[in-house]
Structure 1
């Protein structure tokens, strides 16, 4: 869709530039021919100019701009249908994932999940083949204050999660709260937690898991209200958390662990004890075949295979103290540079920068979390401060 728009804009620019050249050339010609004409004899050249410019504009109306615009709309229509279908099916599968165990029981649930997995894998192959490293383009920004009147201190937004209905969850470390924001990014509900939340991820469209100190607190969203659910107690710190197909990935600061949703430890996937905060936060690709972790102290972004094998390491002067990171439903990788005040898009292989999406010039200051909303086509950035930034993207 972006490629088609660029092609149309280039065609439009050429046509408009041609019209501008024709008008300017004609006006210069008129200026030359009337330079020695007295005032009483200027009426005829002016009326002639008017007619000629009308002719040029009429010729412009007959140009191929309208045809190209119609062609653009025709070509984009099926792509928009595919995109919207992908978004809709993504969230419907989330609901199905929650409902199947309750309705079918374990055996039928297992069979149904396998059938669904086949379709999901086919969809992921389609996405990889058709949307390889699509680069976001920022086309607007807004700033929203998420500090509540009852809070005496500033906010520190360490995690952001976008809900399918357009609402947003933010984790506020300093005020020890999880806040629910409306579609207009106003605080409509909040839930106090016993410690500062480090990270948060969605489990279902109405449930999130909040990582703090040495536990994971599950919370639910219902009718714009937040409620606490079960807890998982762990034997190590929780600095980052991600979820994919029933698996929980949890960072301890120096290691990445894989858990079941019930809290059972599956394995330790990766460890680096050479310093503190070498495994700060994590994210998972839609297919589950790539794991990403930020090394806060080493200024690195690591890419791991499903089994924890290190595949790539990325460093960049614009990525000092990499902190928050996020993978979109179609695999785009976003990462924050805390000290460099940047948000970058990195290739899904984790080896190269594709784009700088936001910097200090955009009002960025100590970004700690980032999230993409498919519903609103926007990137939401949480900072060490009261404001979140929302960037509209294509």
Structure 2
């Protein structure tokens, strides 16, 4: 028994029922204004029709031409039709609109103005009908209350009760129940209409989707940045510490500690830059490293014991910024992959650039056939993802007895 009661009479306990009712009844102010202008003092049905369905329509339709009107109506709709956390006006318009389905942006096109005009007219008419029902049904309930108390029924808005007092008491709940039904249904109607007419336009939805996509891409890029930078620093530290302990040479140990310190300092700089971007504290973030800073990667790998043979050709320093930054991270991950899985082995690094293509080729000897096992982790997958996002390609795997990471990135 409790479930049907909660379903049919649950709106009585919800604040949104009454805020929607107030939102609709407020539209009666427009009708009352026109009643004052027209000199209507004792409004009948025909007068209500003139007050809400004839004279105000051109005025509210013209008001929709003002861009700020859409914002004002959106704010009211959020607060009174959809009360909740999304009723606040924050900078993130897409999240707010997703919560209520109502935009608070001014009209930016004729489509927005037309939909705002339709909303204003609908709100006026539904609000006028709700105000009419509110006044007359409450008046009828008061008349029935007086009749049940024995007072003469002289001014019933809808119908007069001629009969015993118990009949008036029996009929008393009917106008209140009718008012309840009108308020709930009108509230549902106006809430659905607000989402339809005040919701984001297709252009706004597309812009919000693009912004959300950019945010996801940025988060993915930051995750890769942290993986590459911190992973490289930890790999170098582990390799250097292991080599220093194995050699027990004070001079080598000192160089290893210097390499660990230098690599750790750069990793902390990268971490600070990423965290500053995430915090958005307004302070300028350090520039991301590019291929022009590749020397520090090569020095770090050499210090870790790798025997590097480097071949740089072409105007590498003039590679476009986005490609150069991603190329740096790809080279960093490729060298980290060598140190992590193959140790201090000979590594051949080729970086070539021309007017149309940047090529990275990193090859290292495999200490044993089993060394290829498990070398398809997130680092190499990140290299392939970076290359794909830039319109290029990356191949990783065994090649002529070596392990090769080859990346080709278009520059045009």
Larger radius of gyration: 2
**Greater strand share, structure number:** 1
Q: Give the TM interval when normalised to the shorter protein.
A: under 0.3
**Greater helix share, structure number:** 2
TM-score, structure 1 normalization: 0.24
